[in-house]
Homo-oligomer: A and B are copies of this chain.
Amino acid sequence: MMSNTYQSTAEELIRKEGGRATEGRVRILALLLAEEQAITHREIEERLPGQQPDRVTLYRVLQWLADRGLIHKITSDDRVWRFHVNHAAYSRQHAHFKCTKCAKVVCLEDLPSGRHMTLPTGYQFQTIELTVKGLCAQCV
C-alpha cells in the first residue's frame, strides 16, 4: 500500500512548481515517487488504486510533470513512453537499461564517456541517448 509520505512529498513538489495540487496530480506523482522502474502510461493506470483519472488527464499530468522536470520521459523501441521520477542521481543525463524479455526499464546512474563521439563535420552535439539492452536479474 502507498505510504502517506509520498502523498505529502508529491503535494509539496507540485506546490513548489506553482501548480494546483489536485487529487489526480498528487496520486500520480506519489505513485511515481514510490516506483523503482520507469513505467508506462498503461502501467500507471493499472496501479492507481480505486477510481482512475481520465486517460487524457493522465497524459496531461505526465506532460505537466515532465515539463517542470519532476519526472522524465524515456523513449523505447516499443513506441511507448515510460516515466520515471527525477531523483538527484537521475536529474541530468543518464543511461537506461531495458530488459529484452520482460520489457522492464530502469535508470542507470552513469553515462559512459561517449560525449566525444566523432560527428560528421559541421554537426553540432547536443545530447546523447543511451539504452543498454539485456536481461534483468529476474529474467536471466
Q: A residues touching B (Cβ–Cβ < 8 Å)?
A: 75-77, 79, 95, 97, 100, 106, 108, 110, 112-114, 116-137, 140
Contact = CB atoms under 8 A, between A and B. Distances in A.
B130 A124 contact: no
A136 B113 contact: no
A100 B128 CA distance: 12
A100 B126 contact: yes
Looking at A100, A113, A118, A132, the one whose CB has the most chain B CB atoms below 10 A away is A132
Contacts of A126: 100, 133-135
A100 B127 CA distance: 10
Label chain A's interface by main secondary structure.
loop
A83 to B, nearest CB: 14
Given A77-B129, A114-B114, 10 more contacts: A97-B120, A100-B126, A112-B113, A112-B114, A123-B134, A124-B140, A126-B133, A128-B131, A129-B131, A129-B132
Contact of A114 (B76, B127, B130, B134): B130
A125 B117 contact: no
B119 A125 contact: no
Contact of A129 (B120, B123, B130): B130
Contacts of A95: 114, 117
